[in-house]
Amino acid sequence: MKLSVIVPVYNERENIPPFYERTRKVLEAIPALESWQIVFVNDGSQDNSLERILKIRAQDPRVKVVTLSRNFGYHAVLVAGLTLTESDLYAIIDVDGEDPPELFTSFYQAIQAHAQVVYGIRSQRDEPRWITSFRALFYHINNRIADSPTVLWMAEFGMITKEVRNAILAPRTTYPFLRAELAYVGFRRVGIPYQRSKRMHGESHYRFGSMTRFAVAAFLASSTFPLRMVLYLAAGFGLALPIVTWLRKLSMGQAAAAAGLFMYYFLLLTVPMIALYLARTYKNGVARPVFIVDEGQTHLS
């Protein structure tokens, strides 16, 4: 079986060499693995990350590189790597060393035991308590409002079969969110807990603002509950207004003022939600490519 390891890269020059050495040793130690390749997907890095990758590739042809024409974002990078490579198995891992490539051995063993999706469950993370609380709240809410079953604590660190890869790439959305797609397609899943390490070098690109955007993207990708909530709010306000008018014995003028106030808050809550879904629908209609490859800086052969 052939394995392709998809590795997103954005300004990670210091992490690339140690990551490669560590991952190479792990992959070479898996006896049943016939062949493998490490596919670095360069997401428009502004440092010399590409040069570091090409230097390693000159010594090891099993190292491949896909360079995008600009920075398209994390999930677009994953889609690019999965789309442009042909393998029997696919693994996804970040280059910063927080997720251990040593877990690939356990992933591969689970695949041999007939799992089709194997993923790491990030436990005992070394991070501020407020971030842990924020993450737990995100998973709880997303699990409650999702249209289809979700997989709690799933991360973009795992291994999948080609059948799963084809299924998650099928939707062709311009807003890819692989975690939601993996949960939707199902298949036989195995989660393996592990303790996440600290980043090897540099600072994380994933800060609170990025976390918030990630959470919003997750909600929009996996749930239409915010749209249904428009109906619930309309029904609630419609019932509340006559009750308040009767209980408070409001005059016609006061009732009209109360109705205006109800309408103001109704629009304040619902119009932004509708606008978000409408924007996504518009962009899906325009159907711009999720990523664009810089062919001159891409080496897959």
Q: Which of 45-49, 215-219, 280-284 has the highest mean pLDDT?
A: 45-49
Q: What is the pLDDT of residues 136-183, one digit of tens each?
A: 777 677 677 777 766 666 777 889 999 999 998 888 777 777 777 887
**For the residues 121-150, what does the mean pLDDT come to?**
69
- CATH number reported for the structural domain that contains residue 93 in this entry: 3.90.550.10
Q: Supply angle C-alpha 80, 225, 142, rounded to 5.
A: 60
In a domain, 214, yes or no: no
Looking at the chain, the whole-number percentage of residues with pLDDT higher than 90 is: 18
Domains held by the chain: number: 2
Identify whether residues 198 and 246 lie together within a single domain.
Answer: no
- Give the chain's mean pLDDT: 82
Identify whether residues 132 and 264 lie together within a single domain.
Answer: no
> Of 11-15, 47-51, 258-262, 288-292, where does mean pLDDT reach its minimum?
258-262
What's the CA gap between 245 and 297, in Å, rounded?
A: 68
Domain holding 183, by residue range, is: 2-207+290-297
Identify whether residues 260 and 161 lie together within a single domain.
Answer: no
Does pTM surpass 0.85?
A: no
Identify whether residues 120 and 236 lie together within a single domain.
Answer: no
Q: What is the pLDDT of residues 22-59, one digit of tens each?
A: 999 999 888 877 889 999 999 888 888 888 899 999 99
In a domain, 14, yes or no: yes
Identify whether residues 62 and 197 lie together within a single domain.
Answer: yes
As to burial, measured by CB atoms within 10 angstroms (0-12 exposed, 13-18 middle, 19+ buried), residue 36 is: buried
> Of 5-9, 101-105, 221-225, 261-265, where does mean pLDDT reach its minimum?
221-225
Mapping DSSP onto H, E and C, the string for 93-160 reads: CCCCCCCCHHHHHHHHHHHHCCCCEEEEEEECCCCCHHHHHHHHHHHHHHHHHCCCCCCCCEEEEEEE
In a domain, 53, yes or no: yes
On the question of pLDDT at 212 being above 80, the answer is no
